[in-house]
Amino acid sequence: MGTTKTPVLWTTGAPAAGKSTTAWGLYTRIVEAGGNVAYVDIDQFGLIGPPPGGGEAAHAIKAANLLRVLEILRSRGARQLVVSGIVDPENGVEPHFEGGGFDLTLIRLTCDRDELRSRFLGRGSPAAALPDLYAVADAYDRTGFGEAMDTTGQRHEETVEALFPRCVVGDGPVRAPDVVEPLPGPVTVVTGPTAVGKSTAAFCALRDLWAREIPVAYVDLAQLGFANPGPDPALEAANLAAVWRGYREAGAKRLIVVAREFLPEHRRVFEEVAVVHLDADAPTLTERVGRRAEGESALLAGDELRGVPPVVRDRVAARAITEAARMRQARTDRVVLDTTGQEPAETAAALLAVVAQ
């Protein structure tokens, strides 16, 4: 790529400002147009605990991991990179990009306080957290980093349309990531069909380990693979290795990875892996798909269920049942937990008993 800098459009702002929804909308628009593009959420790069004592330290961990991943995506040939997430409200993020191979456009999404309150409560956040929300918004406004974009009264689609012309839509050669040298663990990978409850159980186990003062990091593998052309397990593996290397440098001693399937390309990242597979019968999977569609779990980029009509729920449930049947025939060097009929807390406890061994 020579000396050409790769454009990075980053949407940030206070919680509920619309940064993730806008960035995901830009990514999908570029994908639909055939562009060579990748999307990452910086909040996925700071899942290490017990959480660092100072906010600045947490932002530094996220920024370092982000730059590692962006460099991999750039080397792969991405023509446009889209990023979303909170940045250091005092210092912004621009200093981390000085002298690198990226051309950063940082968009700070804002809206008036009445609308911010409505968006925040509308996504299920507690009213008790409103003072903290306003404090973050005030800090962002006070420091004034990035380019402010007032979205008061705008639908997310309108914000995407306003920013889309500032993105690069173009194809180009896709290069294979560098071969990854195996990294030490211990590493626990939680697999299972769609909606079986992998992320919920794994994150509950993670927080319990943090409460015990055990330094553990967490990666949702799906969140490392948003790239077009794709899917690309080799790219996921390269990003996984980069993030785990960053977490190890930050003090993590073990890692939990969530993945629908853990492929040979992923396994080669680690010297040794323990796989815990979550299973469930057809009625349980169907029920959990419905609960996901109704908003029970955290909303992440690429969510295919939140708010979808019954016909889509039925299609996803049928796919999950087929996945579960196929996965039961897979390799046997794993621990299988049957979660049929369990509540999330029961599954989390069973998983924790395995992870904490």
3-state secondary structure of 275: strand
Given a cut of 70, whether residue 240 has pLDDT beyond it is: yes
What are the sequence ranges of the domains in the chain? 6-166, 187-355
Given a cut of 90, whether residue 37 has pLDDT beyond it is: yes
User: In angstroms, rounded to a whole number, what is the distance separating the alpha carbons of residues 189 and 202?
Assistant: 9
pLDDT of residue 144: 85
Question: Where residue 76 falls among pLDDT bands split at 50, 70, 90?
Answer: very high
Between these two residues, 223 and 54, which has the higher pLDDT value? Answer: 223
Give tens-digit pLDDT for 304-328.
767 778 888 889 999 999 999 999 9
User: In angstroms, rounded to a whole number, what is the distance separating the alpha carbons of residues 74 and 89?
Assistant: 27
Given a cut of 50, whether residue 166 has pLDDT beyond it is: yes
Give tens-digit pLDDT for 202-231.
999 999 999 999 999 999 999 999 999 989
Given a cut of 50, whether residue 1 has pLDDT beyond it is: no
Question: Where residue 297 falls among pLDDT bands split at 50, 70, 90?
Answer: low
Q: Which helix (H) or strand (E) holds 347?
A: helix 344-355
Domains 6-166 and 187-355 share a fold: yes
User: In angstroms, rounded to a whole number, what is the distance separating the alpha carbons of residues 260 and 278?
Assistant: 10
Q: What angle do CA 92, 298, 340 make, to 5 degrees?
A: 150
pLDDT of residue 94: 81
> Is 187-355 in CATH node 3.40.50.300?
yes
Domain 6-166 carries which CATH code?
3.40.50.300
User: In angstroms, rounded to a whole number, what is the distance separating the alpha carbons of residues 230 and 237?
Assistant: 13
User: In angstroms, rounded to a whole number, what is the distance separating the alpha carbons of residues 355 and 197?
Assistant: 16
pLDDT of residue 53: 54
Are the C-beta atoms of 63 and 245 separated by less than 8 Å? no
Question: Where residue 60 falls among pLDDT bands split at 50, 70, 90?
Answer: confident
Question: Where residue 3 falls among pLDDT bands split at 50, 70, 90?
Answer: low
Between these two residues, 307 and 255, which has the higher pLDDT value? Answer: 255
Kindly report the average pLDDT of the chain as a whole number: 90
pLDDT of residue 178: 84
Beta bridge partners of 281: none
Give tens-digit pLDDT for 274-285.
999 999 999 999
Given a cut of 80, whether residue 290 has pLDDT beyond it is: yes
Given a cut of 70, whether residue 21 has pLDDT beyond it is: yes
Given a cut of 80, whether residue 331 has pLDDT beyond it is: no
Given a cut of 90, whether residue 185 has pLDDT beyond it is: no
Are the C-beta atoms of 104 and 8 separated by less than 8 Å? yes
pLDDT of residue 55: 64
pLDDT of residue 188: 95
pLDDT of residue 356: 78
User: In angstroms, rounded to a whole number, what is the distance separating the alpha carbons of residues 16 and 116?
Assistant: 7
Task: Report CA-CA distances (Å) from 189 to 128, 131, 262.
Answer: 35, 37, 8
Strands 216-220 and 6-13: unpaired
